[in-house]
Structure 1
């Protein structure tokens, strides 16, 4: 479909879904302060123009705060929000609890069959779709091609962790505030533990064995975390233990990171010359491995869902249909170019000849396809999830473990002490939960 025809289709979809049957209603949308979500807010006038009876109220929060707020609200059935931005971890757990409204009745034109299977499966419980993906992601290596060339190195398409460490050492120039590697250090199950759990998979680590016994006291976890701490303390920026996605994004855009291993969705921001001083020097590679058959990449989607406590479910569905449609993608492309459309959710996007020209399109899709949440670790495990464990207790466990490892990164305790505490607290939490 041409861009012009897509825009026409967007108008038609808006006309079809707009209706004067709604009384004037305000829907409150809780969302994360990521660039794609902020762009959606900037384009929301397109929705309200065709839905004059629906007003939008935005609550935009940092990732950890968003998770805390929406979790508290939905568990208490507080009804603060009509649309929540939640992830692949929450959707199946909350859907199974009947805390979310099914989206199986979205219009046929929305085209549920177009959603990438790996993304759709993670948002579906017993045949019911409980969230619509706004963008999907894995993780990959983003690197400075100019610094690699200066160091006399070439980045493989599928690097190992040892190659990453060698490149980080070669690119580090602390006198000029250039650091070879930037990684998440900020504590949180969706911050440093997203990176570390996926990284651990590639080192042969697992969170639990087949009997649900915690494994943080294993040799594989010691190897993983020691490698991570040594890598960042040797070649990372100062204060790495407080850096999450947004902090590292800013550092990379300022030219201060030789490499950054993080969400594939960041690619459009590091290659945008409006924001990035190194936009024309960025290359991409798969997340690293150790030759054990698993790469250190994750699988995630930020998605829009409706809590069961909402009293404006039909209006919320109207908004979700608009924000996650193929036509919204075409709208973003018309305003800001194909490189800036929400990635990782629809097959049709990766069949689009214009999008195929985007330098990170193929690597993003390959990274998503390389992650298998049903078989995340080298050894057998009883859980699903690549960078998380799909049980309700994980949010608490992951955050506490993340705090211990962040403290080790900051030099407040040893890696051995951090993992001893991680093992003990995880064992206590799992026993209390009845595992």
Structure 2
């Protein structure tokens, strides 16, 4: 189903699509069919944003929202870590200074749910004066809904921007060895080892090896075994047979096919190695792509393939992180704040994120729109990888409060694997170390 919250003429739409990347739809004012956007004219909203390209985009077009609604918006961007600290302090007090909050789902979801800090958006979504009837759940990627809802179906922050994990691959290196992109994990291992020529400083695979940063790589592989790090009942699955196999796979890829010094690699080091044209495959978030197509930074311009992660022994999954935007439970302007959130995740704003490279919207109607795609500066295969990830998206990290401690403790075990440690021993040791941390976080 295609969702279009505005119904411009074909001429307006084509003009808008052509202009989005450079001019950001300047002068185009979409017509919102059913929503009474002026209902809260005169209201002032306080908006707390994470400092990011997504926050920049919202602030850049904020005036359009103000003109559409007659409301005044005071928005502030704060660097991610400081924004999280500020949010916790103010929300815990019960008197936050903001009506709208931008959250990192993969870090803050459980914390916000336990604190009861977000307003339930279900009543707003069902209100035709507040929500266009074409805005439906089926337009969001599966992981977006998993992020947005709690176990009881309560809808918190609206899904805003998603980061799927994909594989970047060097088409020239593959062609030189007569290889095709791997269809499954076994083929990925074989291709990595075939591509590796350490004497000539060519390596088949790279991913994050540094403690903490390495955990999403392992959890991404684990999803292919049909498991997540924490089960539906909240129990740890980090020492399950599948988890140990995924750890062994991580160990093999990173010790037999990765560059020297990979134990110190975060995403930046991985990206730098891939940019030099000496790495066959790099597994990481889709948002790291733009520099690869920049001639001033990259030696692989036009040589990069973008693909979803190959199928594991059980399933094919697109590991997913993302952020959302919601209304604080303590806000005195909940309905007005919800209108801002709906505007922020609208098709128009999603197209702007996608075309500028500022983010990837959770909405399928944006990713599947041929006219929107025409304005994307990245190669078509990048957009294909994004679109193909949506229906197979699964959460990359566990939805728990101590996400940082989880990454630290499990990350130590994964780093030890790169030094030759036994996967079963390390995963069992890390699991036992994290159990009491998880238990304390869930205590009343």
TM (normalized to structure 2)?
0.73
In the TM superposition, 1:40-189 aligns within 5 A as: 40=58, 53-61=72-80, 70=87, 74-75=91-92, 77=94, 79=96, 82-87=100-105, 90-91=108-109, 94-95=112-113, 97-104=115-122, 105=124, 107-109=130-132, 111-113=134-136, 115-116=139-140, 118-122=142-146, 123-125=148-150, 126=152, 128-156=154-182, 159-172=183-196, 178-188=202-212
Report the Cα distance in structure 2 between the residues aligned to 1:322 and 1:88, rounded to whole angstroms.
22
Secondary structure of 2:316's partner? coil
Counterpart in the other structure of 1:324: 345
Counterpart in the other structure of 2:214: 192
Secondary structure of 1:180's partner? strand
Counterpart in the other structure of 2:370: 353
Structure 1 contact 203–220 (Cα < 8 Å) conserved: yes
CA pair 205-319 structure 1, distance change in 2 beyond 3 A: closer
In the TM superposition, 1:309-320 aligns within 5 A as: 309=330, 316-317=337-338, 319-320=340-341
Deviation at 1:24, TM superposition (A): 6.2
Structure 1 contact 91–130 (Cα < 8 Å) conserved: no
Deviation at 1:328, TM superposition (A): 1.8
**Structure 2 residue runs without a partner (length 5+):** 1-9, 18-24, 375-379
Counterpart in the other structure of 1:388: 397
Write out per-residue CA displacement over residues 18-64 of structure 1, whole angstroms, 9 at most, x where no aligned residue. 79944666533224x4x5555555555666787784232211236xx
Of 281, 302, 321, which residue of structure 2 is paired with 1:259?
281
Of 30, 33, 38, which residue of structure 1 is paired with 2:50?
30
Deviation at 1:217, TM superposition (A): 3.8
Report the Cα distance in structure 2 between the residues aligned to 1:94 and 1:300, rounded to whole angstroms.
16
> Are positions 1:304 and 2:325 aligned together?
yes
TM (normalized to structure 1)?
0.75
Report the Cα distance in structure 1 between the residues aligned to 2:88 and 2:421, rounded to whole angstroms.
31
Deviation at 1:426, TM superposition (A): 3.2
Deviation at 1:298, TM superposition (A): 1.6
**Structure 1 residue runs without a partner (length 5+):** 374-385
Q: How many aligned residue pairs are there?
A: 408
How much is the aligned-residue C-alpha RMSD, in angstroms?
Answer: 4.2
